[in-house]
């Protein structure tokens, strides 16, 4: 009998490391949080895994799966802590990563400084070689020049090299030859090859992505080695998986080869989990609102499907890898409130992080944060968080808000704390409008799916800010990203560029490319240990009208349709995305994409107990400040795990659980559905209008 039935998901955040563990046999799910260890994130993972097993009386030998989401690669780019990186490229193209697209992000900001290249110009060496866009070899590769460049890199202490030739997306032979030559000179160097990282046209995006991959590669490999060692020290023998930016799982070996794919690792898992949980609850259209200790991540799930993108910036560096469409802002529980040079109150993007953390944590922090503001107003427990395991110094929170905000601005303590919260809410609402209204979605037709440690406590005000009528708060929302890892499948994206008018001959060529990628996908899935019956592939093409510069992705599903169907689907998708189509205009094929999927077996978690009563779940009362009109309100506090299924609470109320606190405003109702989700409905129109007027008058 196989006793390995536990599945553990771990999400490493800037402030906390979250864990979720499910027993596949019973569906029982457990949650846990530990403080993150930024100097070595694997340390918190080991600590958290040991503690969640011990707290639940389970053993490491029972663990069949361990998946983790991480922002290690992203943080390396942000903090410029990557490897000493060099680059070899085609003669005449070493400045591509600096020339970029010649787009000014802020047209009239003449002080704007672009981030310095991760491979400085002196370490970008040009090589005589040239392959044309049609695959014809115009200039053979000068192997002696590659060897000389490698010898120079070795003398300079370079530990990572990016190989970026102009048309390697069409023919990778020169890059493969350069890779072999450099390896002979530098056997231990980390090599990032553009035709392996991103075999796609548009050299700037490919070069930039490949250089970022080279920059983070060595240290990411070292981190993954430490993670493997720590997992082994716990006694777990299952190979750990890493979540990448498209929400899928990949092995440690794949993550080490292309760490650039992990730049949105944890947040992507949260969106995947949110989509599954919300669909079960009857909400296929949601805005995910993940507010943690350092940042807020927002995304749209429409019809149960997350939105995707193939390009984004990481700390100012363009990275082109398939990922879930997530917008990130610097607003979280640890965001620091400060007064700028013009005397205006600002919140974030600077964060107190895990160390020293908010002033209330008692670890030496003196700056007021969003968490401190919520403690001052009684919205968070003023004695301890995390079910009593984290003591709180409420007086330190009051002192920080008073001295750094209230007194300099001539405000009362309540006005200052509420001002901090409202500014943060406005920032969060602006981010949500960016992924909804600005992209053609009407927010009033969506449900706000609030999670993260700071999401539920601000959800009502954020929903009101964006005219979203309903809020869903899942069980243990502070660990939703970890739970999402348990709902993710193994997945990897493949791409081939083929730029030509889309006619019968082009579609025949596309079918051949899909067959080629399907063979690669099959080999990769086999290498990941996925059984044949659990393998699948999903196809898409990127098309554009003749004369256009940017393409539209057209999903094709598991099987390839005929050409007329593809063209009709493109017209529909172009109209949905851009508001129009162009009948009679020629269509060009640009990219063929295939996603390899390995379905991971998973049982749904057991439903929460349905017994108990609302009154029995009440654990006390405390004074809570909601707004200037209501002032301080004596507010009942409930333990979420004690609330009955189908029970209805009428605000005001505070609902506490290990990983988060939910706030029910006066006039609101909160209901627990069959899966234990809290469904918050906004107050009636009159109450909502009154609240909005009160907000405007304050």
How many domains does one find in the chain?
Answer: 3
Report pLDDT digits (tens) over 497-519: 999 999 999 999 999 999 999 99
> 89 and 96 in contact (C-beta within 8 Å)?
yes
Q: Is the C-alpha dihedral spanning 437, 441, 443, 447 positive or negative?
A: negative
Residue 390 lies inside a defined structural domain of this protein: yes
Share of the chain above pLDDT 90, in %: 64
Residue at a domain's end among 583, 598, 613:
598
Residues 96 and 213 in one domain: yes
Residue 348 lies inside a defined structural domain of this protein: yes
Range of the domain at 588: 490-598
Residues 396 and 507 in one domain: no
Residues 410 and 514 in one domain: no
Q: Give the model's confidence band at 609: pLDDT under 50 very low, under 70 low, under 90 confident, else very high.
A: low
Residues 518 and 387 in one domain: no
> Please, what is the angle between helix 143-156 and helix 173-185, to 10°?
40
Residue 153 lies inside a defined structural domain of this protein: yes
CATH of the domain at 517: 3.30.1490
Report pLDDT digits (tens) over 565-599: 999 999 999 998 888 999 999 999 999 999 999 99
Residue 379 lies inside a defined structural domain of this protein: yes
Residues 503 and 588 in one domain: yes
Q: Give the model's confidence band at 605: pLDDT under 50 very low, under 70 low, under 90 confident, else very high.
A: low
Residues 206 and 83 in one domain: yes
Residues 408 and 525 in one domain: no
Residues 81 and 184 in one domain: yes
Tell whether the model's pLDDT for residue 34 goes beyond 80: yes
Residue at a domain's end among 581, 598, 615:
598
Residues 415 and 496 in one domain: no
Residue 189 lies inside a defined structural domain of this protein: yes
Report pLDDT digits (tens) over 388-410: 778 899 999 999 999 999 999 99
Structure tokens at 292: 């943690």
Q: Buried b vs exposed e over 27-42: b needs ≥16 C-beta within 10 Å?
A: eebbbbbbbbbbeebb
Residue at a domain's end among 379, 400, 423:
423
Q: Determine how many CB atoms are found less than 10 A away from the CB of residue 610.
A: 12
Report pLDDT digits (tens) over 255-281: 999 999 988 776 888 899 999 999 999
Mean pLDDT of 280-297: 91
The overall pTM is greater than 0.85:
no
Residue 161 lies inside a defined structural domain of this protein: yes
Share of the chain above pLDDT 70, in %: 95
Tell whether the model's pLDDT for residue 602 goes beyond 70: no
d(CA 310, CA 246): 9
User: From the centroid of its chain, how far is CA 532?
Assistant: 29
Question: Which contiguous run of DSSP H or E holds residue 397?
Answer: helix 394-401
SS3 63: strand
Residue 449 lies inside a defined structural domain of this protein: no
Tell whether the model's pLDDT for residue 693 goes beyond 80: no
Residues 400 and 500 in one domain: no
Residues 412 and 498 in one domain: no
Residues 94 and 207 in one domain: yes
Residues 6+ positions from 383 with CB-CB distance below 8 Å: 391, 392, 394
């Amino acid at each position: 009998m196989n006793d390995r039935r536990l599945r553990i998901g771990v999400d490493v955040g800037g402030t906390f490391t979250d864990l979720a563990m499910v027993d596949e046999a019973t569906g029982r799910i457990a949650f846990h949080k530990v403080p993150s260890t930024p100097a070595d994130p694997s340390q918190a993972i080991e600590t958290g895994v040991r503690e969640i097993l011990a707290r639940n009386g389970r053993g490491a030998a029972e663990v069949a799966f361990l998946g983790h989401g991480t922002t290690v690669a992203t943080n390396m780019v942000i903090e410029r802590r990557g490897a000493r990186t060099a680059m070899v490229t085609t003669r005449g193209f070493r400045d591509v990563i600096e020339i970029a697209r010649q787009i000014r992000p802020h047209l009239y900001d003449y002080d704007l400084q672009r981030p310095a290249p991760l491979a400085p110009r002196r370490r970008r060496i040009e090589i005589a070689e040239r392959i044309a866009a049609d695959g014809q070899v115009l200039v053979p590769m000068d192997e002696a020049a590659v060897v000389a460049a490698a010898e120079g890199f070795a003398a300079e202490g370079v530990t990572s090299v990016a190989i970026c030739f102009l048309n390697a997306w069409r023919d990778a032979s020169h890059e493969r030859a350069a890779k072999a030559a450099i390896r002979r000179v530098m056997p231990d160097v980390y090599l990032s090859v553009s035709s392996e990282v991103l075999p796609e046209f548009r050299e700037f995006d490919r070069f930039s992505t490949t250089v970022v991959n080279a920059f983070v590669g060595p240290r990411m490999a070292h981190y993954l080695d430490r993670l493997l060692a720590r997992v082994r020290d716990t006694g777990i023998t299952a190979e750990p998986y890493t979540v990448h930016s498209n929400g899928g799982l990949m092995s440690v070996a794949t993550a080490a080869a292309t760490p650039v794919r992990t730049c949105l690792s944890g947040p992507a898992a949260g969106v995947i989990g949110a989509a599954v949980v919300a669909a079960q609850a009857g909400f296929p259209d949601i805005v995910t609102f993940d507010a943690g200790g350092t940042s807020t991540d927002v995304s749209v799930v429409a019809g149960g499907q997350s939105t995707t993108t193939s390009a984004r910036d990481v700390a100012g560096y363009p990275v082109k890898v398939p990922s879930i469409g997530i917008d990130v802002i610097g607003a979280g529980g640890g965001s620091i409130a400060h007064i700028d040079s013009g005397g205006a109150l600002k919140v974030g993007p600077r964060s107190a992080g895990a160390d020293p953390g908010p002033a209330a944590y008692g670890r030496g922090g003196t700056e007021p944060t969003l968490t401190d503001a919520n403690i001052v107003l009684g919205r968070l427990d003023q004695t301890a968080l995390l079910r009593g395991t984290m003591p709180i110094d409420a007086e330190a929170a009051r002192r920080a808000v008073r001295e750094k905000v209230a007194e300099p601005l001539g405000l009362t303590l309540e006005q200052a704390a509420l001002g901090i919260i409202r500014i943060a809410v406005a920032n969060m609402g602006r981010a949500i409008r960016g992924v909804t209204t600005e992209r053609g979605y009407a927010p009033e037709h969506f449900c706000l799916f609030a999670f993260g440690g700071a999401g539920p406590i601000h959800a009502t005000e954020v929903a009101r800010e964006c005219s979203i009528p309903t809020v869903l708060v899942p069980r243990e929302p502070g660990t939703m990203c970890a739970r999402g890892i348990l709902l993710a499948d193994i997945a990897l994206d493949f791409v081939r560029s083929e730029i030509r008018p889309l006619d019968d001959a082009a579609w025949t060529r596309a079918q051949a490319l899909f067959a080629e990628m399907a063979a690669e996908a099959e080999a990769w899935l086999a290498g990941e240990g996925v059984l044949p019956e659990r393998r699948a592939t999903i196809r898409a093409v990127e098309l554009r009208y003749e004369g256009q510069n940017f393409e539209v992705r057209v999903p094709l599903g598991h099987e390839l349709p005929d050409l007329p169907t593809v063209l009709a689907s493109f017209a529909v998708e172009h109209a949905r995305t851009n508001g129009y189509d162009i009948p009679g205009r020629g269509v060009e094929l640009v990219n063929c994409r295939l996603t390899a999927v390995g379905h991971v077996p998973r049982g749904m978690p057991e439903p929460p107990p349905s017994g108990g009563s609302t009154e029995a779940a009440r654990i006390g009362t405390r004074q809570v400040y909601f707004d200037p009109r209501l002032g301080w309100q004596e507010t009942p506090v409930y333990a979420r795990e004690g609330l009955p299924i189908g029970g209805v609470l009428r605000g005001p109320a505070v609902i506490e659980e290990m990983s988060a606190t939910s706030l029910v405003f006066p006039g609101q109702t909160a209901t627990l559905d069959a899966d234990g989700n809290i469904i918050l409905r906004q107050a009636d129109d009159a109450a909502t209008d009154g609240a909005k007027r009160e907000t405007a008058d304050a």
